[in-house]
Amino acid sequence: MRRVWLAIVVAVVVAWAGSVVGLSAQARKPGGNPKAAAVKNPVKPTPDSINKGRTAYGRACRHCHGLKGLGDGPLAPKNPKPATLIDAEWKYGSSDGEIFDIIANGVGGDSEMKGLRSELTVTDMWNIVNFLRSIGPKP
């Protein structure tokens, strides 16, 4: 029953977040997204979630951001270089909701960071947020 409840909460949050914060068609502006910042992470950062996030990150993100989140992956574009995910500077916002929104919808503009909404499940994206928190800046 607990998993069903979590799935329902995640689905509602994502549906709301997608309708409110989706920016996939336009370039983002530095400084964050207040609407995305208001979205709370429904997945607790348990060791299981972090491990699942590490696995999903390895499939979808490491090619550009690198194994350690340094922006030095083997397929990383040169200009602009992928963001470093372990420092305290998050150009487009550092809340869990903003990070989720970037993963889901991408950055746009001249960035090659495309949204991964069609490649990852909602839970995978939240697990990646939890994994990034485990190796990088805390909220």
Q: Does this model's pTM top 0.85?
A: no
Q: How many CB atoms lie within 10 A of CB 102?
A: 25
Q: Yes or no: is domain 2-40+47-135 CATH 3.40.50.300?
A: no
Domain definitions of the chain by residue range: 2-40+47-135
> pLDDT 10s per residue in the chain (139 long)?
555 444 444 444 444 444 444 444 467 778 888 999 999 999 999 999 999 999 999 999 999 999 999 999 999 999 889 999 998 888 889 999 999 999 999 988 878 899 999 999 999 999 999 999 999 876 6
Q: Which residues of 61-77 are buried (b: 16+ CB within 10 A; e: fewer)?
A: bbebbbeebbbebeeee
Residues facing residue 114 across a β-bridge: 106
**Cα dihedral angle (51, 40, 85, 7), rounded to 10 degrees?**
30
Closest CA to 69 of 139, 137, 138: 137
Residue 130 DSSP one-character state: H
